[in-house]
Amino acid sequence: MDSHQHSHSLAPADADRRALAGALVLILAFMAGEVVFAIIASSLALLADAGHMLTDAAALGLALFAASMAARPARGRWTFGYKRVEVLAAQINGLTLLVIGIWIVYGAVRRLIDPPEVEGTIVLVVALVGIAVNLAATSMLARASRSSINVRGAFVHVLNDLAAFVGTAVAGALILVTGWNRFDPVASLVVAALIAWSSAGLLRESTRIFLEGSPGDVDPDEVGRAIVATDDVVETHDLHVWTVTSGFPALSAHVLVQPGADCHAIRRRLERMLTDRFGLDHTTLQVDHAQGTSTVVEFMRRSPLPRG
């Protein structure tokens, strides 16, 4: 007896796409101006920020494409639709962050050894404008639902850039005050550290989804114990809990119940329990009557051995 529930709720696709498109326009417009001023000021911090903003633009474009693909209905061989395109986009964004972070570290080390002259005034002014632009972009993305790892990946890109511009503004101000040009590559190293931290988080979460690990807030052992604790349930096995895409957990299991018990009623009771207690509203339960001696399974109701 199978039950498929499909009442899961995903982020509103239209709202996500509008937010991603608006942030993309802002980032592209500012990035073009920043490259020009980075060259004029001979600032690696500004150039690093521009490079990071290029990855932001690519991340937003990829996220926009993924959100459009994820909105397509399931059909043919694609029984879950294209929802995991969003997870793939998040993983690509994580890898991109990692690569750009390594590039920034390489350039910063070189400039720490042999620092060029840096125009602190230009660095400071451009960084302040960058803070304003990134505040507007993060505000747009913050209004969209971040239950999607795809939107969250784009949001992390832009949020990191906001933090990077704050660091760059501080570096520009310190250069103006002290004349020490090494503040510029030091700020770049801070940017690289933030990028590495964000990259690790995105890669860890997207990899867990691709490897079909259970959602981070769901313990499969606890789920199994909750199932066998239900009245008339004897045991459960072939229990699988995984994530189709962010915000879309799923469960399948084979459940054996007492002979003569109402399989349909128990199935409905289990579905309600799994939804209310664990947030698992996409479930596939095969419920059968227990017969004869059962084999060793993962979860079994303990009962005393018969006498005689």
Residues of the chain with CATH 1.20.1510.10: 13-210
Residues of the chain with CATH 3.30.300.30: 220-300
Q: How confident is the model at residue 298 (pLDDT cuts 50, 70, 90)?
A: low
pLDDT exceeds cutoff 80 at 34: no
Q: How high is the pLDDT of residue 276?
A: 93
Class of domain 220-300: alpha beta
Q: What is the mean pLDDT of residues 18-26?
A: 86
Q: What is the mean pLDDT of residues 119-128?
A: 78
Summarize pLDDT for 91-101 with one digit per residue, the tens.
Answer: 888 888 888 78
Considering the chain, what percentage of its residues have pLDDT values greater than 70?
86
Q: How high is the pLDDT of residue 130?
A: 83
| Cα angle: 246, vertex 156, 220; to 5 degrees | 30
Summarize pLDDT for 237-295 with one digit per residue, the tens.
Answer: 999 999 888 778 899 999 999 998 999 999 999 999 999 999 998 999 999 998 754 44
Q: What is the mean pLDDT of residues 134-162?
A: 78
Dihedral sign from CA coordinates of 53, 16, 137, 97: negative
What's domain 13-210's architecture? Up-down Bundle (1.20)
pLDDT exceeds cutoff 80 at 62: yes
Q: How high is the pLDDT of residue 256?
A: 94
Summarize pLDDT for 152-196 with one digit per residue, the tens.
Answer: 788 877 887 787 778 878 888 888 888 887 887 888 888 888 888
Q: How high is the pLDDT of residue 268?
A: 94
pLDDT exceeds cutoff 50 at 307: no
